Amino acid sequence: MVIFWTLVILSIISFIQYHLFKRFVLRHVHYERKFKQDAVFANEPCQLIEKIENRKRLLIPWLYVESLLDAHLTFGKQENLFVSSGTVYQNHASFFVLKGYNRITRTHRLIPIKRGVYYLQSVTLTSGDLLGFAKQVQHRQLHDQKPLIVYPDPQLPSYHMTNDDFSLGDTVVKRFMMPDPFMTAGIRQYVPGDAFKHINWQATARTHSLQVNQYDYTSNKKLMVLINCEDNENMWKTVTNTDTIEQLIRYAAGITKAALEQGYEAGIATNMHAIDSSQPAVIHPIGGQSFWFVILEHLARLKIERAISFNALLESFVYDYTEPTVFIVLSCYWSEEQRMIAQQLIAKQHQLQVVSLADHYSSKLENEGAKR
């Protein structure tokens, strides 16, 4: 008889707690998630802050908070944090136990490994009763949350990536740029690393030691970096070699940084479009080191997809730019048609130089073919 009444009482308690938690467990639960920083560079640590508050007396015995995040946001190890990663997205889940009128704040350390704009869009809250019979699920949108803007890691191209055949113009430039082989400023002693094609053989014969030509640099104070997302001359819209285009974007960040630090007005233009636009991204030259972060944000927002042909973009500057400007072209190739357009720019007192990743791209294709 005692066992019977014990079972009856337990059944009543289970029934009551089941309906109690089923109805109220996620009521008056406030959840907030946000990035601590507004913007960081790629591979720079940042923080994701997670706050949850139980604004009622009822205990929440268990609570799962799940959301999908971009796979390029890598999390460090942490208790009560579960991350399941895919190639595009990862499932981020946190586990909580909250007493009545209790608030918990957690800070997750993460590292974005790729430039871009990362949004926090929605979360799923799942909770239930003490015995696991009742379960309640809520999908919540995270409104008014600022995205995390990840800037590209700025880099400068090495000298060997610039083909001297593409260096055009005869004005003098600042030292961050590649030397102009058409402007000889003098002769100096050869040092390891100098290109043999720069050896002055007449001076070498006269001095009986290797001498090389010392080249000067341009002096135009406006710089425009042009990024070509086309990885070959016959490409239409879809970019297949995205890794190389990402490298071009990093070079654009590094070149504009160096230019602004040395007193240039710098800008960027590309035949790609931003994630929230269908028009090619163009930022006209402006001075001041603080303007670099405006350029970085535009680079972060670029979608690797062609908006117009690069030839059309290059040709637009022939008609739109009248003040002498230094153009640096970052591209996977350089065609005869583009060379003809460049000559029109040079005829209008501009200077143009091409940083070509053709060799890098060709070796990449060879490596991929060997793997297949």
Q: Is residue 235 very low, low, confident or very high in pLDDT (cuts 50, 70, 90)?
A: confident
354-371 mean pLDDT: 50
Q: Is residue 33 very low, low, confident or very high in pLDDT (cuts 50, 70, 90)?
A: very high
Q: Which of 14-23, 36-45, 99-108, 293-302 has the lowest mean pLDDT?
A: 14-23
Highest mean pLDDT among 35-44, 150-159, 166-175, 208-217: 35-44
Q: Is residue 236 very low, low, confident or very high in pLDDT (cuts 50, 70, 90)?
A: confident
Same fold: 26-151 with 159-180+217-371: no
Global pTM exceeds 0.75: yes
Tell whether the model's pLDDT for residue 282 goes beyond 80: yes
Q: What is the reported pLDDT for 358?
A: 65
Mean pLDDT computed over every residue of the chain: 82
Tell whether the model's pLDDT for residue 323 goes beyond 80: yes
Choosing among 3.40.1190.20, 3.20.20.20, 3.30.450.40, 2.60.40.1530, the CATH entry for 26-151 is: 2.60.40.1530
11-36 mean pLDDT: 85
Tell whether the model's pLDDT for residue 34 goes beyond 70: yes
Can you tell me the distance from the alpha carbon of 166 to that of 353, in angstroms, rounded to the nearest whole number? 6
For residue 123, give every residue at least 6 positions away whose Cβ sits within 8 Å of its Cβ, in sequence order, or none. Answer: 31, 33, 65, 66, 67, 139, 140, 142
Tell whether the model's pLDDT for residue 370 goes beyond 90: no
Q: Is residue 264 very low, low, confident or very high in pLDDT (cuts 50, 70, 90)?
A: confident
Q: What is the DSSP letter of 159?
A: G
Tell whether the model's pLDDT for residue 161 goes beyond 60: no
Q: Which of 121-125, 126-130, 198-202, 360-364 has the lowest mean pLDDT?
A: 360-364
Residue with tokens 């030839």: 311
For residue 79, give every residue at least 6 positions away whose Cβ sits within 8 Å of its Cβ, in sequence order, or none. Answer: none
Give the bridge partners for 148, in sequence order. Answer: 118
Output the CA–CA distances (angstroms, integers) from residue 40 to 47, 111, 152, in the order listed.
10, 9, 9
Tell whether the model's pLDDT for residue 167 goes beyond 60: no
Q: Is residue 364 very low, low, confident or very high in pLDDT (cuts 50, 70, 90)?
A: very low
Tell whether the model's pLDDT for residue 289 goes beyond 80: yes
Question: Which residue stretches of the chain are H helix?
Answer: 2-24, 201-207, 242-261, 292-300, 310-320, 336-347, 358-371
Total Cβ atoms within 10 A of residue 306: 20
Question: Domain boundaries in the chain?
Answer: 26-151, 159-180+217-371, 186-215
Tell whether the model's pLDDT for residue 173 goes beyond 80: no
Q: What is the reported pLDDT for 162?
A: 52
Q: What is the reported pLDDT for 218?
A: 52
Q: What is the reported pLDDT for 159?
A: 55
pLDDT in tens, 89-141: 888 888 999 999 999 999 999 999 999 999 998 999 999 988 778 889 999 99
Q: Check: CB of residue 361 under 8 Å from CB of residue 332.
A: yes
Tell whether the model's pLDDT for residue 84 goes beyond 70: no
Q: Is residue 198 very low, low, confident or very high in pLDDT (cuts 50, 70, 90)?
A: confident
Q: Is residue 217 very low, low, confident or very high in pLDDT (cuts 50, 70, 90)?
A: low
Q: Which CATH architecture has domain 159-180+217-371?
A: 3-Layer(aba) Sandwich (3.40)
